[in-house]
């Protein structure tokens, strides 16, 4: 059997890579969730949510990573893989994890609205299914959760700005164009833009 990542030493490290993927997603305007598949100490697949980019409702970070890992290993059974993901997998992703026989999943923050790892459904450890997953959660929980909160917070402000700008005339549109920018974290700096428009 291939060695697993060591939970004490490696979980933080691999979750940081998943977080890098989440930041790449945010920069592209995708809901910022990232995932990494690891065997032993080696990352064999990494990815992030690409639903909008690919126009594909199934293009969640975990699905992309599971499919990439299967291609790399030339088999659909991922029996040596530990999967790291920044947010609790949804029903679809939890189902895919069970189908792929992934033995261990490490996630950051819970998803109380749609989580399939215990929050809304308990798919990863359902006794009726033919595979159950060892679960660890809360790894870098605050960072994983805050990336999402910031993204949706910024999006709400941006939508508000867009609404205001639509009711204004063209000089204000110019003002908005000057003030709105993507900051160095990949996030849309909308609060300053909103105050600029309100002046």
Catalytic positions are 62
> Beta strand pairing status for 134-137 and 104-109?
parallel
Determine the Cα–Cα distance for residues 109 and 107; give it in Å rounded to an integer: 6
Segment contacting its own copies by CB under 8 A, of 4-12, 108-116, 147-155, 158-166? 108-116
Binding residue for its own copies, selected from 87, 96, 105, 193, defined by CB under 8 A: 96
Counted residue by residue, the chain has a size of 199
* 152 near its own copies (CB under 8 A): no
Query: Taking the complex as a whole, how short is the minimal distance between the CB of residue 122 and its own copies, in angstroms?
Result: 9
Structure tokens at 5: 């990542």
* 99 near its own copies (CB under 8 A): yes
Binding residue for its own copies, selected from 13, 67, 110, 155, defined by CB under 8 A: 67
Segment contacting its own copies by CB under 8 A, of 9-17, 28-36, 120-128, 182-190? 120-128
Long-range contacts of 117-121 (CB under 8 A, 24+ apart): 117/88, 117/89, 118/88, 119/88, 120/91, 121/91, 121/94
Q: How far apart are the first and last CA of the chain?
A: 64
Binding residue for its own copies, selected from 42, 52, 162, 183, defined by CB under 8 A: 52
* 177 near its own copies (CB under 8 A): no
The 10 Å Cβ neighbour count of residue 177 is 11
Chain positions contacting its own copies, by CB under 8 A:
51-52, 55-59, 63, 66-67, 70-71, 74-78, 90-96, 98-101, 113-114, 116, 120-121, 123, 126, 128-130
């Amino acid at each position: 059997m291939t060695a697993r990542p060591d939970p004490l030493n490696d979980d933080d490290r691999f979750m940081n890579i998943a977080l890098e993927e989440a930041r790449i997603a945010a920069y592209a305007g995708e809901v910022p969730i990232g995932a990494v598949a690891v065997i032993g100490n080696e990352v064999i697949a990494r990815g992030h949510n690409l639903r909008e980019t690919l126009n594909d409702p199934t293009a969640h970070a975990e699905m992309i990573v599971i499919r990439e890992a299967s291609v790399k290993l030339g088999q659909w059974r991922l029996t040596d893989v530990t999967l790291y993901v920044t947010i609790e997998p949804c029903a679809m992703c939890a189902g895919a994890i069970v189908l792929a026989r992934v033995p261990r999943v490490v996630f950051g923050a819970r998803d109380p609205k749609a989580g399939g790892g215990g929050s809304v459904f308990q798919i990863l450890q359902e006794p009726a299914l033919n595979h159950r997953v060892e679960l660890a959660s809360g790894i870098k929980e605050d960072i994983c959760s805050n990336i999402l909160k910031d993204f949706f917070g910024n999006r709400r402000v941006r939508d508000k700005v867009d609404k205001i700008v639509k009711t204004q005339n063209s000089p204000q549109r110019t003002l908005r164009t000057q003030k709105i920018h993507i900051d160095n974290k990949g996030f849309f700096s909308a609060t300053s833009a909103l105050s600029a428009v309100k002046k």
